[in-house]
């Protein structure tokens, strides 16, 4: 049984339910009948508003040659059915045959209710618990990590059905600015560190080095970019289904912990995963901020304008 299979055995039943308004999925056997497996995979997840130029800019920054060698998997949110269709056209134009599976959902009341009740409806009460001890749990944070998880699920499903084995997997938001992706260097790095996910940092170089130096003192991890082996990145992408199992590890008793809630929660998830692995409860896993040459994996910028990222107040009580 793979690490992903072992993890999914304990997932709440509704955790993988989706409400796609637009979707694309290559059929079983697509690799045998057409384009071969990509050399690596890219899981893209996030919420966007039109115009969808950040998606185009991301592909340009990543490198068009690299995109053509990748298998791309997408789970994204928009605010209307029209936007879903328009985003779908953008995704197909930008990624072409590299787009292996994609789902676009509309962020509405039905979806918000599904997300916030995914755990409470299964009797864990984890959302209520965190609400009591940490203040209101941001719906947008749960939604973000659900998107990330579902893009990961799409990749794992395609890989299983088509026999694709990815030596490197990239998890990314669709609106960040990064250096061009160097597959050869990352392949060598991941081969030497197969159980470690490298987590990107969006801050100054000095702060990126300092940010994750101490636990559980004030520190956090950014959530825009991660690179590693398929297993390591899949473990990183499981914050949403893992929430009921690790949330108690989040230091809610520390007064300052309520700031930067999503980033601190992710750090708790990574720390819990790594400690569980060392204890033998999970497969080997660790995380690092050190990428190629031991330098931080930097996120150079985010197109975080009103045209590039959906703001909570514009549509509903959360995103």
Q: What is the mean pLDDT of the chain?
A: 83
- Would you say residue 286 lies in a domain? yes
- Would you say residue 14 lies in a domain? no
Pull the structure tokens for residue 70: 């990748």
Residue 3's pLDDT is 54
Separation CA 190–CA 13 (nearest Å)? 33
How many domains does the chain contain in total? 1
- Would you say residue 154 lies in a domain? yes
Separation CA 175–CA 48 (nearest Å)? 8
Query: How sure is the predictor about 305, in pLDDT bands with cuts at 50, 70 and 90?
Result: very low
Cβ partners under 8 Å of residue 94, min gap 6: 55, 56, 59, 67
- Would you say residue 319 lies in a domain? no
Pull the structure tokens for residue 125: 């009460």
- Would you say residue 38 lies in a domain? yes
Task: Please state whether beta strands 40-47 and 70-78 pair in parallel, antiparallel, or not at all (unpaired).
Answer: parallel
pLDDT: which is higher, 306 or 162: 162
Is the Cβ–Cβ distance between 283 and 277 less than 8 Å? Answer: yes
The predicted-structure confidence for 103-153, as pLDDT tens digits, reads as follows 999 999 889 888 877 766 555 566 677 777 666 666 677 889 999 999 999
**CATH code of 62's domain:** 3.90.550
Q: Tokens 């825009």 correspond to what residue?
A: 224
Widest pairwise Cα distance in the chain: 57
Which range among 30-44, 69-83, 284-298 has the greatest average pLDDT?
69-83
By residue range, what is the domain housing residue 172? 3-9+19-314
Which has the minimum average pLDDT: 1-15, 95-109, 191-205?
A: 1-15
Is the Cβ–Cβ distance between 73 and 174 less than 8 Å? Answer: no
Separation CA 44–CA 23 (nearest Å)? 14
Whether pTM > 0.85 for this model: the answer is yes
Residue 315's pLDDT is 30
């Amino acid at each position: 049984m793979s690490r992903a299979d072992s993890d999914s055995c304990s997932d709440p039943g509704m955790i993988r339910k989706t409400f796609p308004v637009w979707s694309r999925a290559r059929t079983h056997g697509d690799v045998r009948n057409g384009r071969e497996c990509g050399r690596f995979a890219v899981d893209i997840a996030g919420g966007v508003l039109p115009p969808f130029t950040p998606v185009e800019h991301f592909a340009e920054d990543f490198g068009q040659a690299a995109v053509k060698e990748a298998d791309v998997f997408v789970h994204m949110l928009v605010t209307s059915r029209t936007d879903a269709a328009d985003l779908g056209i953008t995704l197909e134009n930008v990624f072409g045959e590299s787009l292996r599976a994609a789902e676009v959902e509309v962020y509405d009341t039905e979806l918000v209710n599904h997300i916030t009740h995914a755990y409470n409806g299964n009797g864990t009460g984890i959302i209520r618990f965190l609400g009591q001890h940490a203040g209101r749990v941001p719906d947008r944070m749960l939604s973000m990590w659900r998107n990330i998880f579902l893009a990961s699920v799409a990749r794992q499903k395609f890989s299983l059905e088509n026999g694709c084995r990815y030596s490197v997997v990239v998890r990314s938001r669709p609106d960040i600015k990064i250096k061009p992706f160097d597959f050869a260097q990352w392949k060598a790095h991941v081969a030497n560190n197969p159980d470690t996910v490298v987590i990107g940092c969006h801050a100054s170089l000095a702060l990126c080095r300092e940010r994750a130096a101490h636990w559980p003192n004030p520190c956090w991890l950014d959530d825009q970019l991660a690179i590693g082996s398929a297993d390591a990145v899949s473990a990183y992408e499981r914050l949403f289904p893992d929430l009921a199992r690790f949330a108690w590890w989040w230091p809610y008793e520390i007064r300052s912990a309520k700031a930067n809630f999503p980033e601190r929660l992710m750090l708790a998830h990574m720390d819990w995963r790594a400690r569980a692995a060392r204890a033998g409860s999970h497969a080997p896993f660790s995380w690092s901020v050190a990428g190629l040459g031991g330098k931080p994996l930097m996120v150079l910028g985010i197109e975080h304008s009103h045209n590039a990222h959906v703001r909570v107040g514009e549509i509903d009580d959360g995103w």
